[in-house]
Structure 1
Amino acid sequence: MNVKTAKKPESRIDISYLSKLKMSSFGNDNLYPQNLSAITASSGTGTLCLNRYAKFIEGNGFRDVAFSETVLNREGETADTIHHLLSQDVAAYSGLALHINYNLLGEIVEVQHLPFENCRLEEEDENGYVAHILVHPDWRAKKTRNGKIIKVDDSTVDRIDVFNPNRDVVLAQIEKAGGIQYYKGQVLWVSMAGKNTYPLALYDSVITEMSTDEGLSNVKNRNARNNFLVACMVVVKKGNPRVDKNGNEVETKFIEADDLKKFQGDTNGGKIMLVELEQDEEKPELLKFPVANYDKDFTVTETSTVERIYAAFGQELFYAIRIGKLGFSGQVMCDAYEYYAGQVTNEQRFIERVFDRIFKYWHEPINLRNDFSIQPIKYINSDGTSNAAQ
């Protein structure tokens, strides 16, 4: 078999043109980031690995402490706060977006984080140029304001100019908007997949495994919460017929549906079930009540699923530590931290380049000793020492 004869996989992101909004959809239903987040959130292993990935991208923040404390917008958010939010987006979606505001001199005066999952690309023109980024608070159309659902249409979608800090361009846009008070600013939308290209998340290839991880958790939950966990069943003779207050014989079932619930789940484990028999000649018996537990049947599946999720994030060392393959010590953790800190340098440089593009046009001088470099995270031992990653 070769590439030509191999079965062709489905496209990971289907891109189509939505004429209603004149935009490129992000996935077949335009909800790739939202679907990605939902699947990841349902997987305990996926959530753990994603959080660790974001943590290492953020590192220990900017080397230049003075810059990290610089206030970047009217909400009082600092560069360090914005960096934290961008690290989350880069980890989750392999992209980021920032909302940029200018003054009447064409200088950048405000930078705000814009959730990457809220942004979509306008359709390219005949020259391949994307002029606007479309922004909506919830492309699923489930979020509400004042009790009303925010629909996805021209009245709720903001169409904002793409980032272009050229002074003449900015001033022309301000004039076109009717003044600075009506100007929406610009959006710096950047993808690790390249210019004007929707990115695949780092872990896109193991989305199936994450869904499987959720299914395995459901099986365990059902075993613990919904299985019959009685110790045994006692079968006895039925006594005199049951009658109501009028003396009429009443037909009753041995076990009612509600009675069965009393023997299900972890809080009802170890109880004894009593069953009455119709025929007097039958003697009482003590019968073992089998309990079905499927955990062992899924052991191999669970192990391979978890391992693949860790591998997709490049966290094999942490997985080896988890299963006891490498043991656990301060030195082992230091080595793991140092190794993984080196694995996220591309993502960190991606963020550093974004800050560099913006602060060339900041309205005030920014004095930096080490550019916008990000410090790698360090493992702190119990004695206060850390790993040597720098």
Structure 2
Amino acid sequence: MRVKELKRKSSRRIDISYIQSLGIQSYGDDNLYPQTLRNIIAASSTGSECSERFADFIEGNGFMNEQFSSYVVNRRGQTSDDIHALICNDMACFNGIALHVNYNVYGDIVELSHVPFENCRLLEEDDNGYVAKIAVHPDWAGNKTRKGKKIQVKKENVDYIDVFNPVKEVVLSQIEAAGGIEFYKGQILWLSLYGKNVYPTGRADRVVTEMSTDEGLSNVKYRNVRNNFLPAGMVITKKGTHTAFDDDGNEVKDDDANDSFSEMLVNLQGDMNSNKLLDVTLETDEEKPEFVPFTTQNYDKEFTVTDASVVERIYSAYGQEPWYCIRIGKVGFSGDILEDAFEYYNSIVSKQQRCIERAFQMVFRYWFETANPSNDYSVQPLKYVRNANVPDNN
């Protein structure tokens, strides 16, 4: 089938529009793409595992330059290594990062902080394709509170911060335009692996359907164990009737009907009540109690194929086939295999690592030379550490 015949059946991964009241480009049709994506990943056990492993390998063992990794970069006492760890998580989720830099009155960089990537939005491009500011809000969903009140998504609650441009003349003019250094909000270095001023999709975007399915399968398993009927059987016995008379001498049947049967059914659901007996009392005569075994429906077996294919696709989307093969027993669990897996995956994350290295280089090129005289911002790759041989005491 030709491409043009399929275009009606496919859609853009991110719908971008202009929100006039805020002066920004929306990140998704509801402006909540990154928030929704992070929630989908968090709800999937397999997705969370793969995303965390992806972030761990991007971070590696921190910067090669250990002196630089411990360098304090802001007034909160955070080090370069702390900032690096935070932006690696953003890169793993969204394929983008955001860093905030502060300047002194002379236009020198004096502070570096992490800005959650999901809190940033782009302003509309001008005629030259230039985006002058980044809009930052602590929660674009409008659920976060301060002093017990929700921070509404209004223009007065949004910080519009200049994009990163450390040229002194530019910084000094921005400080002057803000009304002085005390009103100046600094600059934001916003980077996307998809290109300049382009909202990225996360690596999980290609398997969001599978991740949502993974969450649904977990719910089915939970309800199958917690809410399924698992009694061993039912015992049916005779119930006698009691006849009474009212004040006028009319016969009245003593009806003991109540909700005890419904309450009993609730007490027979779930794993903690499995293999119990259900006692049912009838009003009809019978010679002896009767035992009726129950055959319950196990829903786990209905989704075995779906479960396996969903997990495999999520691992594949993150390029983690070696760990998937180990998980399903396709290959053995040995030090050599894990060592090869670590070496393989370090090559997978090299693109993300280079982007982060360039970001730090762009900032510290204009910082004090004592921060990192070597100009080395490379990351130590993760390596599989074999268990040390325990000496024989005999």
Question: TM-score, normalization: structure 2?
Answer: 0.94
Partner of 2:257: 252
Which structure 2 residues correspond to residues 150-229 of structure 1 after superposition, within 5 A?
150-229=151-230
Match of 1:375 among 366, 371, 380: 380
- Tell me the amino acid that sits aligned with residue 186 of structure 1: Q
Residue 242 of structure 1, CA deviation: 8.8
Q: Match of 1:307?
A: 312
Name which of 358, 362, 369 aligns with 1:357.
362
Residue deviations 1:103-141, cap 9 Å, x none? 122111100000000000011111111010000000000
Q: Compared with structure 1, are the counterparts of its residues 106 and 254 closer, same or farther at alpha carbon in structure 2 (3 Å cutoff)? A: closer
Question: What one-letter code is carried by the residue in structure 2 that aligns with 1:5?
Answer: E
Matched, 1:113 2:118: no
Matched, 1:279 2:284: yes
Correspondence 1:3 to 2:31: no
2:388 equivalent to 1:346: no
Aligned to 1:298: 303
Number of corresponding residues: 385
Give the structure 1 partner of residue 331 of structure 2. Answer: 326
Gaps of 5+ in 2: 390-394
Partner Cα separation in structure 2 for residue 171 and residue 253 of structure 1 = 82
Q: In the aligned structure 2, how far is the partner of 1:313 from the partner of 1:148?
A: 39
> 1:371, CA displacement in angstroms?
1.4
Q: Does the 8 Å contact 2:71/2:371 carry over to 1?
A: no
Deviation readout 1:169-200 (Å, 9 max, x if unpaired): 00001111111111100011111110000001
Are the counterparts in 2 of residues 242 and 250 from structure 1 also a CA contact under 8 Å? Answer: no
Matched-pair contact (CA < 8 Å) for 2:241–2:254: no
Q: Give 1:387's aligned residue.
A: none
DSSP-derived class of the 2:189 partner: strand
The amino acid of 2:298's aligned partner reads N
8 Å CA contact retained: 2:41, 2:204: no
Considering only aligned residues, what root-mean-square deviation do their CA atoms show, in Å?
Answer: 2.0
The amino acid that maps onto 1:353 is R
**Partner residue in 2 for 1:38:** 39
Cα separation, 2, equivalents of 1:253 and 1:93? 57
CA contact (8 A) 1:242 1:251 kept: no
Q: Which sections of structure 1, spanning at least 5 residues, go unmatched?
A: 385-390
Distance, in Å, in 2 between the alignment partners of 1:158 and 1:261 is 53
Q: CA deviation at 1:3?
A: 1.0
Distance 1:242 1:26 in 2: 74
Residue equivalent to 1:388: none
Structure 1 residues 152 and 345, CA gap change in structure 2 (3 angstroms): same
Give 1:191's aligned amino acid. S
> Letter of the aligned partner of 1:312 in structure 2?
A
Which residue does 2:392 correspond to in 1? none
For each residue in 1:332-373, what CA deviation from the matched residue of structure 2 results, as whole angstroms up to 9, or x when unmatched? 111111111111000000100001100111034344446111
Contact map agreement 1:63 1:370 (CA 8 A) in 2: no
Q: Evaluate the alpha carbon distance shift between residue 74 and residue 229 of structure 1 in structure 2; reply closer, same or farther with a 3 A threshold.
A: same
Instruction: Write the mapping of 1:36-115 to structure 2, written as runs, cut at 5 A.
Output: 36-115=37-116
* C-alpha contact (below 8 Å) 2:134/2:161 kept by paired residues: yes
